[in-house]
Structure 1
Amino acid sequence: MSVEALFQTLESRLSSRPAREVHLPGWTLREASVLVPVFERDGVPHVLFTRRPATLRTHADQYSFPGGGRDPEDATPLHTALRETEEELGIDRRGVRVLGMLDEVPTISQYRVRPFVGVIPGDGKYRPSAEEVAFILEVPLSGLLDPSILRVEQKEIMGAERDLYFYTYGTHVIWGATARILRDFLNHVTQVPGGAG
C-alpha cells in the first residue's frame, strides 16, 4: 500500500467514527490538544515526536507530540493543536493536512488532551522553539509497529488501575499520555488493510 493510500484510509476511518470523550466524575480537566504529525519521506511513512527541555516545570525531558493548553483565542481544539505545532516546530498550520481526531486522553496534570492526526511536509525543515523543543525524533511507522518495543505496566492512576505503555525505540523511551495516544493511533493503522506493511 502506498503512503498516500494509507493516509487516505486513515482519514476515512477517523472521520467515520466519533472520538471517545473523557468522563471522570469529580475531576475538572483543562482543555489541551496535540497534533500527531505524520509524513512521507522516500516512500516511507514516519511519525514525529519532540523531546521537551529538561528545564520545563511539567513533563520535563519527556517525548511528546506538539501541542498544549487551549488559549482563549483558539476557536476550536484543532486551532490549538495547529497553533502549537507552528509555535514549537515552525510548521505553517496551512501546510498541515488534518486526517481526523483520536480518542481524548486524560493526563495526571489534569488536562483532557484531544489528539489530531495531521500530515506535515516531509522535507524535515523545522524551526524548533528552543524553549519548548530539545530534540526532534522522526521514527518510521514500521519501527513503532514492532511489538518488541512495547512494554505494559499496571499502576493506580486517578483512583483506577490503568495500563502504562512504554515504547522503547533505540535509546528513546516514549511513555505517559504520548504513549497512550500513540497506541490509539497504531491501533487504527493496524486496522487498515496493508497499512502495517
Structure 2
Amino acid sequence: MRPACETGTAPPAPLDEAWLRQRLAALPPAAVPDWDTLLQRTPGSSRPHARLPRHAAVLVPIVPAPEPVVLLTRRSALLRHHSGQVSFPGGGLDPMDRDPAETALREAREEIGLDPATVGLLGRLPVQWTHASNFLITPVVGVLSAEARWLAAPAEVDIIFGMPLQQLLDPDAPRLIEGGLRHGSWSWPHPDHDIWGATAAILLRLARILREF
C-alpha cells in the first residue's frame, strides 16, 4: 500500500520563480545532525563506519520556464561508485570551499558545464544522510536563468534530463519501496529512469516544502 504524502496549498499557474522563492524563503539554516541522532533515525542500525560521515553538497537545479523542471543526471557507467544511478550534480566538500553552495556550484560546473553566474540560489534543504556510503549531503536549491546552458561531461555523466516540477507537487507520485535491498527507500515514477535512494529522498523533501508552506 502506498502511503499518502502531505498536501498543501495549491500552487499558482504558472509556477514561477517568485513563487519558488516565497516557498523556500522560510527554510531554516540546514542543521547538521550529530552521529547519535543519525543512528536514532535509522531503526535497528548500528555504527557502520569507523569514521564520521563525510560532507557533500548537491545542486538541485530548477529550470523555471515555460514548464518548470528539476534537472537530474544519470551518472556515467564508467564510474567506480554509484555508476548508472540518477543523481543531482554534486560531490564532496573541498577544503577550499567556503560553504556547501560553493561545493554544489563547483561540482555542477564540472559535471554539466553549468556557469555559476547563471544560477540564482534559493536556499538549502535539510541535510540528507546516506547510510550505506556514509555521506552528509546538503542539497542547495537554485533557479537557472534564461542564459543557463548545460552539457554532460562524459567522464561523469551519461545524460541530463528534467523532471516536471508539477509532478513533485502530486502527493500520490512518490512510492515507498517494500522488500529487497531498497526496502524503506522512496522512488519517483519516470518513463526512462530509475529515481530512488538519496536523490528520491531529496526530491520528496523539496516536494513537501513546496506543498506545505
Same fold by TM-score greater than 0.5: yes
Equivalent pairs, count: 185
Whether contact under 8 Å (2:115, 2:149) holds in the other structure is no
Q: CA deviation at 1:106?
A: 1.0
**Pairs within 5 Å for 1:1-197:** 1=12, 2=14, 3-14=16-27, 17-25=28-36, 26=47, 28-42=52-66, 44-107=67-130, 108-122=132-146, 125-153=149-177, 163-192=184-213
Whether contact under 8 Å (1:144, 1:169) holds in the other structure is no
Q: Secondary structure of 1:139's match?
A: strand
Question: Matches of 2:22 and 2:179 in 1, distance apart?
Answer: 35
Q: Secondary structure of 2:109's match?
A: helix
Whether contact under 8 Å (1:10, 1:99) holds in the other structure is no
Unaligned runs of 5+ in 1: 193-197
How large is the RMSD of aligned CA atoms in angstroms? 2.2
Q: Secondary structure of 1:186's match?
A: helix
For normalisation by structure 1, the TM-score amounts to 0.85
Q: CA deviation at 1:6?
A: 1.6
Name the structure with the higher strand share. Answer: 1
Between structure 1 and structure 2, the one with the greater Rg is: 2
Unaligned runs of 5+ in 2: 1-11, 37-46
Q: CA deviation at 1:123?
A: 5.9
Q: Secondary structure of 2:30's match?
A: coil
For normalisation by structure 2, the TM-score amounts to 0.79
